[in-house]
A and B are shown apart, each in its own frame.
Chain A
Amino acid sequence: MMNWTRRTTLIAGVALILLTNMAALLGAAYNQGGEPTSTLQLSERELQLPYWRGNKDNSGITLDLRWRSSGTSNTVSPYDDDDPAWLDKAKLASLGFDVSMPIDTDPQRAIYRKQLSKPVFLALEFDGPAYRHVIELAKKRDAEDLEKNEGTDPKKVRPTALSQELNLASRLFVVDAGLDSEKLRAKYPDTHHYCIVRGQIQPSVIRDEEKRPLMTGYIKDVAAQSINVPLEFRHVFVPILQKRNANFAYEENEKRPKFDATVAFGKRLEPWLAAASSK
């Protein structure tokens, strides 16, 4: 057996540190090298700033990607559900989930709930048909609200669904999923409006409007959720954070500070902040 000496320990330790760092850095360099696989022009609507208030121990800034689902199978909350309409039985089967069993009884439904999430590739659409669809839905909802609130003081009425959609809500929607990133890219070739990222999908069974069980799934996680702000773009976000901290209610307010940010996605589908400026 090899005699383990101090020298061996020293070599092993140094090699472990260097090789691990090299692997991480080469991976990052490969991801960011060459042409990005997608480049999206996002804003404060799609990128949420962290809550800085009271966190004086962390000087770093990360932006959270705010994604939504394109419509939903559950009509209770038509805008921000995690179980999108396109994630139906056929789609779940194409993603490798076993959907062959019926869902009529509780034990049968429990089997679906027991299935674990699967790693998949997700297609995110920015400012496309899914967004336009929710605008139409918002207009419809506003019309319904107007009918209900006829005669109420207009000052007391909260911002409308349409105003929310046009000014505040994220325009980034998860519109599809697949097991092959290249096939998904071929289906959505516009690299300025669609990006492919890693994520997880979990099957579930919900009730539709008529209380009938409906097989669906929900997006459990999107891997490219947090995006680090490098030093060169820090000047864009620090004043916004300071301003927001002074006025705690800014976050869901139409007067909140605005910014533009270009987010690029590389060969490993990992994002980075390519450009940023305040409006």
Chain B
Amino acid sequence: MTITTKIEAQRRADEINIFQGELERLQQGGILTLSEEQKHAVSTHHLALLADFSRAFDIDRNLSSRQLSTGMRIASFLGALALAASVFFLFYQFWGTLSTSAQVTILVLAPLGTFLGTMWVQKVDATGYFSKLAAMVSFACFVLDIMMLGQIFNITPSDNALIVWAAFGLLLAYTCELRLLLAAGIVCLIGFVSARTGTWGGMYWLDFGQRPENFFPAALLLFLVPQFVPHQRFAGFAMLYRVFSLLALFLPMLVLANWEGSSYFDVDPVFIKHTYQVAGFLFSMAAIWLGIRHHWPEVVNTGVTFFVIFLYTKFYDWWWESMPKYLFFLVLGLTAVLILVILKRVRAAQSGDLK
């Protein structure tokens, strides 16, 4: 089998490590005994494979290198955030003392230069940590660029800024396999789609948050992206799309289930409130079912989280005033236990299916 991506290489390396551990245990238990030549052949083959993967994809060859990688990822993430903030503050610190032409030149060149820099770093940096850092700075420069041009020329705010930020964020995210920028791009995309939905409904684009239903088309769009665009090469990307899709669905539902006045529908407010409360339960249960069926743990977890939130807010409505507090929290605790029992049964049933 030809390995073409880092994810595949890392998966293969992990399988080799697991195999080696299991082989050792089998040999120690006397269940399987390989001859010296066989041991040597397997070991040489695996070492050569790992060396190849390491050279081509900079994978973690063992547990300790994986732990170090995690540390490097955290450092890279924090560094990227700090550098992006630094770019913002650097410009703010001095921009008032620059002429308009100098401001514009700096603003245009900053994202261009950092983008070209990111592409160069990505070419020479096999680990990807430095290119991810550079990509974050480039994105920050582009956001700053558009924001500041708007401020310098007193341009009327437009939702078009969100779509170009989303496009740039997604471009960098896919180029550098950077989930943080994917999240930033998705947030901008949610903003743009929701704002456009709002303007089609006749409202001013910046007011799109006043009608939470504006987020539903974005939720649907995000959920469909990983269904139609293959993401095997990009670790965690499909997961992020699904999580943000569920957030764009459940958060507005939660708002409407409690503050029904912000709905588009001109019907009885109590009816709207109850409809969204029921929809919240049904959709979170559907998410749990869908997640279990398709082996999407993030969908299951988000579904469970919102199911519990919907349930607890309902309990609050019903009993917070009427029940003694110890009893109220006891009910919450017992409900959590009940949910655990149900999920345990589902898990057991699923394990049975797998057998």
The chain A residues found within 8 Å of chain B, CB to CB, are 6, 9-10, 12-14, 16-18, 20-21, 24-25, 27-28, 31-32, 57-62, 110-111, 114, 116-119, 198, 200, 223-224, 226-232, 234, 268-272
Contacts and interface: CB of A to CB of B under 8 A. Distances in A.
A224 B154 CA distance: 7
B204 A231 contact: no
Given A25-B104, A116-B207, A226-B151, A17 B202 contact: no
Interface stretch (B34-42, B53-61, B93-101, B217-225): B93-101
B171 to A, nearest CB: 6
Given A6-B119, A25-B149, A111-B266, A13 B168 contact: yes
A10 B115 CA distance: 8
Contacts of B119: 6, 9-10, 13
Given A9-B175, A118-B203, A231-B97, 10 more contacts: A9-B171, A13-B171, A17-B112, A20-B164, A24-B146, A59-B93, A62-B151, A116-B210, A223-B156, A226-B154
A17 B155 CA distance: 18
Given A116-B210, A231-B99, A268-B156, A60 B92 contact: yes
B89 interface: yes
Contact of B154 (A59, A110, A270): A270
Interface residues of B, number: 45
8 contacts: A20-B146, A28-B153, A59-B92, A60-B92, A61-B96, A62-B151, A114-B261, A231-B99
Contacts of B93: 57-59
A13 B164 CA distance: 11
Contacts, number: 124
B107 to A, nearest CB: 8
Given A12-B171, A118-B204, A270-B155, A234 B149 contact: no
A116 B99 CA distance: 40
B167 interface: yes
Contacts of A200: 204, 207
B155 A27 contact: yes
Interface in B144-193: 145-146, 149-157, 164, 167-168, 171-172, 175
B211 interface: yes
Contact of A18 (B112, B155, B202, B210): B112
Contacts of B115: 13-14, 17
B213 to A, nearest CB: 12
B142 interface: yes
